[in-house]
Amino acid sequence: MDKILRVNMTDLTTVVEEVPAEWAGLGGRALTSTIVVKEVPPTCHALGPNNKLVFAPGLLSGTAASNSGRLSAGAKSPLTGGIKESNVGGTAAQMFARLGIKALIVEGMPRGEGWYALKVGRDGVTIEEERGLLGLGNFAVIDALQALLGKKTGVIAIGPAGEMKLTSANISVKDPSGKIRSHGRGGLGAVMGSKRIKFIAIDDEGAPGIQMADPEAFKRASRIFTKALMDHPVSGQGLPTYGTNVLVNILHEAGGLPTRNFTHGQFDGHEQICGETMHDTIVARGGKPRHGCHAGCVIQCSQVYHDKDGQYLTSGFEYETIWGLGANCLISELDDIALADNVMDDLGLDSIETAVAFGVAMEAGILPWGDGKEVVRILREEVGKGTALGRVIGSGAGAVGRTYGVTRVPVVKNQAIPAYDPRSVKGIGITYCTSPMGADHTAGYTIATNILNVGGQVDPLKKEGQVELSRNLQIATAAVDSTGMCIFIAFPALDIPECLPALIDMINARFGAKLTGDDVTGLGKNVLKLERAFNLAAGLTSADDRLPEFFCSDPVTPHQAVWDFTNEEIDAFWDF
């Protein structure tokens, strides 16, 4: 039987609960957001005792379904002041699912100064005092726990940034190679730090495993689903070869690559940091151009990037990070960006929020444009050591802008805008404005249809069709985020007719359900509306569903595009 693990950090007690009937059909984002909405007072302080941190594997996590190993984390975000769900690969989701853990809810807050660790296993969860690993970076924490508990142990941890409760702090999850994946966005690491939990170790020895209602039907659907992933050129060939960083040259060409803190739409140094160059560099240095973030991933968009001496430098080296420190900060040396990525992973910082914060810091004159070495120094010596400057940068782009009087601060709901300029790729601007998560490209990835010709074509420079496109994608994404599936299954799902029905068939076979496509769409709509209601009750308004003013006034090269949606046009997003 599936169960809920509840941990109270105020009185240091734990309890195993039955799954309430109304949560039985939920997983991933649908479940974390439902629990946060039901149990967290919207106006509470995100770093206070009334916030809760919820982890939930997706509906299909732990099964043999390809790409189903995503773990959702949810809470009220200390960065946005609204609800947050952030999902991640790694090994934890599948371990939770095999242990029958539908969700882990962490509530309350210790009264004293002590730190703790949670140990999750087949008998539930225990709380232990923790001293030895405090202050250490994520890589050292994972290495130490593997030495202590064995190579198979699952790890969910925060680095020094989370311990300091910085609003860019992420939560790191061990991947199959013993490296790191991140619940990146929205400062969830600060919430874990406020609960004074340094790490959660998972032991799935003796786990009951997954109960499958109809194993044969599952196998049939799973084969069709996997074939669709392999057949689609994006998920089957493009992503495995070049990773997400193939987008540098595409967005540069389209004039949508935000450059020099969102001043221009193209970057002269694009060839030095692009996916094609990165691929050749990885191969020449003996790294791995293909790598999966969780067992059962057939797309393998990740990679292992080595330094000039052939030693590990970073992995999971994503387009958004490379864009953020590259084009946005004018750093054209890929090795500098890779080293910074490694340091951010180790400190436990969201690499999008932090990269955009550096762009604003460069605009403020704190460090020179393009100075990758100084970025690494500031990360290690200022953020890592908790100096005043380090804490400002580690609190995100909005904090840097407010502290230094910068007006070009690319954030929505105080969360940094990633890698696609909303003036020249207008659909993604609607997603940035309206997503309950704050500016988040993954919430409704219109780049697929605006730029990549997946799921049709909607002209990125015109307003027509963008609100509908973003709405449809945000609804679909909210549903996909609840299944435990990687969002990249959306590429085949948008183009290959058999793909989505096969996904629904797998959910039905797993639970003995009879969901239809309409039910899944309905789930996505419900999740979005729940999240929106939480934000409104927390004090956000439609005035928070807006891009910063400079996007309306400053045209971006080369198309001289501006953000020209009226407030009414943006608010029509919620007409469903």
Partner 1 sequence: MASITVTIKLFAHFRNGRFKEADHQFPPGVACRDVILGLGFRLGEMGIVMVNGQHAPLDHPLSERDTLALFPLVGGG
Q: Which is nearer to partner 1, 250 or 536 (CB)?
A: 250
Binding mask 314-343 for partner 1 (x = CB under 8 A): -----x------------------------
The answer to whether 72 and 35 have CB atoms below 8 angstroms apart is no
Does position 559 interact with partner 1 (CB under 8 A)? The reply is yes
Q: Which is nearer to partner 1, 199 or 262 (CB)?
A: 262
Q: Which is nearer to partner 1, 395 or 477 (CB)?
A: 477
Among 61, 72, 244, 403, binds partner 1 (CB under 8 A): 244
* Tokens matching residue 43: 């106006």
Torsion from C-alpha of 345, 347, 350, 356, nearest 10 degrees: -110
Q: Residue 234 CB, nearest distance to partner 1 (Å)?
A: 4
β-partners of residue 84 are 75
Residue 220 is which amino acid?
A: R
- Cα distance between residue 196 and residue 478, in whole Å: 30
Q: Which is nearer to partner 1, 78 or 460 (CB)?
A: 460
User: Per CB under 8 A, which of residues 445..484 are in contact with partner 1?
Assistant: 445, 447-448, 451-454, 457, 459-461
Q: Which stretch binds partner 1 (CB under 8 A): 22-30, 125-133, 251-259, 431-439?
A: 251-259
- Cα distance between residue 39 and residue 51, in whole Å: 8
Q: Residue 479 CB, nearest distance to partner 1 (Å)?
A: 17
- Cα distance between residue 103 and residue 125, in whole Å: 12
User: Per CB under 8 A, which of residues 132..171 are in contact with partner 1?
Assistant: none
φ and ψ of 84, to 5 deg: -140, 135
Does position 249 interact with partner 1 (CB under 8 A)? The reply is yes
Among 253, 268, 381, 554, binds partner 1 (CB under 8 A): 253
39 CB neighbour count, 10 Å cutoff: 14
Q: Residue 221 CB, nearest distance to partner 1 (Å)?
A: 24
Q: Which is nearer to partner 1, 145 or 234 (CB)?
A: 234
Does position 255 interact with partner 1 (CB under 8 A)? The reply is yes
Does position 276 interact with partner 1 (CB under 8 A)? The reply is yes
Among 225, 305, 358, 488, binds partner 1 (CB under 8 A): 488
Q: Which stretch binds partner 1 (CB under 8 A): 47-55, 190-198, 229-237, 431-439?
A: 229-237
User: Per CB under 8 A, which of residues 14..33 are in contact with partner 1?
Assistant: none
* Tokens matching residue 563: 């953000």
Among 233, 310, 456, 539, binds partner 1 (CB under 8 A): 233
CB burial string 336-362: b at 16+ within 10 A, e below: bbbbbbbbbbbbbbbbbbbbbbbbbbb
The answer to whether 470 and 431 have CB atoms below 8 angstroms apart is yes
Among 4, 83, 207, 239, binds partner 1 (CB under 8 A): 239
- Cα distance between residue 203 and residue 121, in whole Å: 5
Helices (H), 150-187: 160-163
CB burial string 189-223: b at 16+ within 10 A, e below: bbbbbbbbbbbbbbbbeebeebebeeeebbeebbe
Q: Which is nearer to partner 1, 158 or 556 (CB)?
A: 556
Q: Which is nearer to partner 1, 280 or 381 (CB)?
A: 280
Does position 47 interact with partner 1 (CB under 8 A)? The reply is no
* Tokens matching residue 502: 């096969």
Residue 151 is which amino acid?
A: K
Q: Which is nearer to partner 1, 249 or 342 (CB)?
A: 249
Q: Which stretch binds partner 1 (CB under 8 A): 196-204, 206-214, 246-254, 352-360?
A: 246-254
The answer to whether 198 and 133 have CB atoms below 8 angstroms apart is yes
Among 301, 355, 433, 500, binds partner 1 (CB under 8 A): 301
Burial environment of residue 66 by CB neighbours within 10 A (0 to 12, 13 to 18, 19 or more): buried
Return the residue matching tokens 């479940």: 31
Nearest C-alpha neighbor of 184 from the set 339, 35, 293: 293
Q: Is the dihedral of CA 118, 119, 121, 125 positive or negative?
A: negative
The answer to whether 202 and 95 have CB atoms below 8 angstroms apart is yes
User: Per CB under 8 A, which of residues 417..446 are in contact with partner 1?
Assistant: 441-442, 445
Q: Residue 292 CB, nearest distance to partner 1 (Å)?
A: 16
Among 211, 385, 558, 560, binds partner 1 (CB under 8 A): 558
Q: Residue 311 CB, nearest distance to partner 1 (Å)?
A: 26
Q: Which is nearer to partner 1, 167 or 259 (CB)?
A: 259
Q: Residue 426 CB, nearest distance to partner 1 (Å)?
A: 13
Does position 271 interact with partner 1 (CB under 8 A)? The reply is yes
Q: Which is nearer to partner 1, 65 or 301 (CB)?
A: 301
User: Per CB under 8 A, which of residues 515..544 are in contact with partner 1?
Assistant: none
Query: How is the beta sheet containing 171-174 ordered, strand by strand?
Result: 124-129, 116-121, 197-202, 154-157, 171-174, 180-183
513 CB neighbour count, 10 Å cutoff: 14
Q: β-strand 180-183 against 288-291: which pairing, if any?
A: unpaired
Q: Residue 387 CB, nearest distance to partner 1 (Å)?
A: 34
- Cα distance between residue 68 and residue 221, in whole Å: 14
Count of residues binding partner 1 (CB under 8 A)? Answer: 40
Q: Give residues in contact with partner 1 (CB under 8 A).
A: 233-234, 237-239, 241-247, 249-250, 253-255, 271, 275-276, 301, 319, 441-442, 445, 447-448, 451-454, 457, 459-461, 487-488, 491, 558-559
